[in-house]
Each structure stands twice: as C-alpha cells, then as structure tokens.
C-alpha cells in the first residue's frame, strides 16, 4: 500500500490512510476535503470500519482547516446502495446528481 499511496500523492495530489481492514483515499482542496474512495474488505464489512475511516479523514481535514467534506456515489456500481446509506448515516446530505454520479456534502 505504501507505494500506491506514494503514487496517489505524486500523480493526483491525493492522500491515503489504511489498515488491515481497508483504506480511504482523499484530497484536500482549499477548505473542502473530497473522499474519493473508501474500500473495506468483504470479511470486515458491517463492523463500522468505514465509519472509522470517515472519522479519521474528517479529523485530518478539520486539522487542515477544511469546512466541508464531500463524497460521491456511482449508482450503477456494485454496493452503491450501501455506500449511499453509509454516507447519509455519517451525516452527508445529497448536494447534486448527474449522469450516474451523486455528490454528497457534510459540514465539518
């Protein structure tokens, strides 16, 4: 994972946090943090690991002066319903949607 995280920083300006259960990829731009990916291994799902990553990224973002955090869901991909439900449970609200892409935002 270290090399992939280095690649994300160099290529896309994104950062990554991870543990044995999964990872979260995010990018801070101005006063917003965009979580582009959260992945949890199938055997670790339903154990609140996604919540842990959401909290961790939120705390990092707050520490860097972010006022909001955004996420997205592609409804046509597997697991979209669970992803959308998880983000709403975490306090995100739907901001917009277009072309099979939903953007959600949460005030920090």
CATH class of 2-107: alpha beta
> Can you tell me the distance from the alpha carbon of 65 to that of 93, in angstroms, rounded to the nearest whole number?
21
Instruction: State how far the alpha carbon of 46 is from the alpha carbons of 50, 63, 82, 83, in Å.
Output: 9, 28, 10, 12
Is the pTM of the predicted complex or chain greater than 0.85?
A: yes
Tens digit of each residue's pLDDT (9 = 90 or more) over 16-30? 999 999 999 999 999
Domain ranges of the chain: 2-107
Give the separation between CA 47 and CA 62, rounded to whole angstroms: 25
Q: What is the pLDDT of residues 3-52, one digit of tens each?
A: 887 888 888 999 999 999 999 999 999 999 999 999 999 999 888 899 99
User: How far is 27 from 43, CA to CA, in rounded Å?
Assistant: 27
């Amino acid at each position: 994972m270290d090399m992939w995280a280095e690649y994300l920083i160099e290529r896309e300006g994104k950062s990554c946090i991870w543990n044995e259960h999964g990872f979260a990829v995010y990018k801070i731009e101005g006063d917003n943090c965009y979580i582009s990916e959260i992945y949890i291994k199938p055997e670790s799902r339903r154990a609140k690991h996604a919540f842990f990553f959401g909290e961790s990224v939120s705390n990092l973002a707050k520490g860097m002066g972010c006022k909001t955090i955004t996420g997205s869901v592609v409804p046509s991909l597997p697991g979209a319903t669970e992803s959308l439900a998880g983000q709403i449970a975490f306090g995100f609200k739907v901001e917009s949607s277009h072309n099979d892409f939903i953007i959600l935002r949460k005030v920090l």
